[in-house]
Structure 1
Amino acid sequence: MVAALSACGSAAEPGSDTSGVRAPTGPTRPDALPTRSGLIDAQVVQWRDWRSVDDRTLEVTVTAGPADCYGAEPEVTESETAVRIRIRVGLLPEAAGKECLAIAKESVVPVQLTSALGNRKVEPLS
């Protein structure tokens, strides 16, 4: 589904001019994957982290392909004590036949809750 590629590069030669190249400053926010059903070849992916955006919205961090080709389908079950989340990632139907980069990126998936999170635990849905 999503393959990781690594790039090899060489260090700058001593005395070479690298003034036109700047490293990113500060943390960058991962792209948000579009959420929808009907994804092609959707697979369950492990999510690593989450953060609360507001009382009823979470952002779950996953590794996936670029957001212009891949989307996510979150599945959520809620109880009084826990919110359980499963994320499927797959190719967007409109990206079928399109040339998509085979890179793995950190992305976020917005997840809507039916009730405020409150003090409930957030954990994977198995």
Structure 2
Amino acid sequence: MRVRPPLPLAACLLAVVAALSACGSAAEPGGDTSGVPAPTGPTRPGVLPTRSDLVGAQVVQWRDWRSVDDRTIEVTVTAGPADCYGAEPEVTESETAVRVRIRVGLLPEAADKDCPAIAKESVVPVRLTSALGDRKVEPLS
């Protein structure tokens, strides 16, 4: 019986990479080979309930907004899950601008339960007194 000398580590790794690459090339081009279906489209952030009775509410910075209709905008914030957390928007309106401040806190019914400490992108619906029109939307300081 002939004994082969051990292959260098780099050659072994190269062989493993080549074998794994060959496995992936048998799949459809652009197909998913992980067995987990890929998302079919962009995921929409969850909607935080708006309430005025939040526990421990604190001001959070919002980073984006979009118009829903002529009197409603949605402001994007980072907060916990909507089954534990809610938002309280504060709005001041003028002829030229809509200024928005968002407070996020625990829902009263979730104050005694274990809420996961995860940050999620969420939206907060904000109802305006008058149509947005061409007014600027900016943070209320």
Report the TM-score, using the length of structure 1 for normalisation.
0.85
Code of the aligned partner of 1:83: V
Which one has a larger percent strand, Structure 1 or Structure 2? 1
Instruction: Please point out which of 86, 102, 118 is paired with 2:101.
Output: 86
1:33 maps to 48
Larger radius of gyration: 2
Deviation at 1:23, TM superposition (A): 2.4
Measured in 2, the distance between the counterparts of 1:86 and 1:23 equals 36
Identity within the alignment, %: 84
Code of the aligned partner of 1:46: Q
Report the TM-score, using the length of structure 2 for normalisation.
0.76
Measured in 2, the distance between the counterparts of 1:125 and 1:54 equals 21
Where structure 1 has 5 or more consecutive residues not aligned to the other structure, the ranges are 1-13
Alignment coverage as a number of residue pairs: 112
- Secondary structure of 1:35 counterpart: coil
1:8 maps to none
The reply to whether residue 96 of structure 1 matches residue 114 of structure 2 is no
Measured in 2, the distance between the counterparts of 1:26 and 1:36 equals 30
Deviation at 1:97, TM superposition (A): 1.1
Where structure 2 has 5 or more consecutive residues not aligned to the other structure, the ranges are 1-19, 24-32
Matches within 5 A, 1:35-114: 35-114=50-129
Matches within 5 A, 1:6-25: 14=20, 18-19=34-35, 21-25=36-40
**Cα RMSD (Å) of the superposition?**
1.4
The reply to whether residue 121 of structure 1 matches residue 136 of structure 2 is yes
Which aligned runs of 4 or more in structure 1 are off by greater than 2 angstroms? Answer: none
